[in-house]
Structure 1
């Protein structure tokens, strides 16, 4: 399908979503564009745009990654909490966005996902500026259910904040779990599982469980 036709077909649903979050005069500018076949499970919560001068801020469900079939790879929108946007944000086709009632997701400017990212928040996820995520990446700040230590009866936290810094690249199939901190300039290797706070900037983080594998490298020019 040609991109222009794809965008035209997406206008009614994009307006429907935009009018839920913004006054009519702003919604008419379509600050949120969702692809026409996006599954809208819940259009609730609120979206806060820090800088409204850029026009269309959030693009959801579009893209052109050849190994994904856009006809069948539907994106899913399930928003009940708060999303804060500082600039342009792009979630590619097949992406899944789930934000719980009391959760806050804050995304900096120039965020880009190629395709099929899953972002799930029940607490708080902060993503910095110039972050790139490849396909099939997962960022999730909750376990969904408690875990109990049978020896001391301690119940571990179900959800913890996730902090992803500026200029970070999450490679394909990387997984970022609750309590994880990814510092500025880091690259998370393909198929890595990150479940702790890292402190070294401009590093390659890789493996399962992930560890720092190389220092003084970054995707972006400093």
Structure 2
């Protein structure tokens, strides 16, 4: 029964997947159908050349809007909007679950490493750069934002505060649910971000459990497995 349901879900995703692949990829790559885009994803701004895959192509290697039958609530439908002079790159296979939001602004770039997975209701809002390494695991309701949002300006002693800064997330990083990764943050390889954390500063040492309020190193020299 499960296998039949999964096949029906893939069948229902084919029209939007065909549209997405041929909208953003060159014809010779689009015909390989590397993206499987589920009907729950709303597509807005898309144009040829904004999406690039830096690996061998396989059918449905990147799944967007994947539905899991679990106890995680479905808060929002998914949404993708990519500015024409922005870029989103995938370095390998990836799974982005139901409710994912991806938005790129002018002159911005998001990179997803290979073997990437995020659970439901995660958002990636990019005005500068968001770089995510390989083997990154994300729980549900996570917000990755490299900007303060809007067109407002903040001044400190007469000097305008920078509105956007790049985010770098290393390899083999686990970000637990309800966490926020904000502008200018670097997270080193093999780290774990604790549940319900708001990360506003960088952690450049590897293999740490980080979290709390204010954010700090909770435990050093950790290891984790998927």
TM-score of the aligned structures, taking structure 1 as reference length: 0.92
Q: 1:69 to 1:199 in 2, by over 3 A?
A: closer
Contact 1:194 1:208 in 2 (8 A): no
When the two structures are aligned, how many residues end up with a matched partner?
Answer: 218
SS of the equivalent of 1:52 reads coil
SS of the equivalent of 1:59 reads strand
TM-score of the aligned structures, taking structure 2 as reference length: 0.90
What is aligned with 1:153? 158
CA deviation after TM superposition for structure 1 residue 130, in Å: 0.2
CA deviation after TM superposition for structure 1 residue 13, in Å: 0.6
SS of the equivalent of 2:44 reads strand
CA deviation after TM superposition for structure 1 residue 65, in Å: 4.7
Runs of 4+ deviating beyond 6 Å? none
Q: Does 1:11 align with 2:14?
A: yes
Quote the RMSD (CA, aligned, Å): 1.8
Question: Unmatched 5+ residue regions in structure 1?
Answer: none
What is aligned with 2:38? 35
Write the deviation string for residues 74-123 of structure 1: whole angstroms up to 9, x where unpaired: 11111122011110111111111111121111111000012111111000
Cα separation, 2, equivalents of 1:67 and 1:146:
40
1:170 pairs with one of 175, 191, 197: 175
1:64 pairs with one of 68, 76, 93: 68
SS of the equivalent of 1:109 reads coil
Q: 1:146 to 1:48 in 2, by over 3 A?
A: same
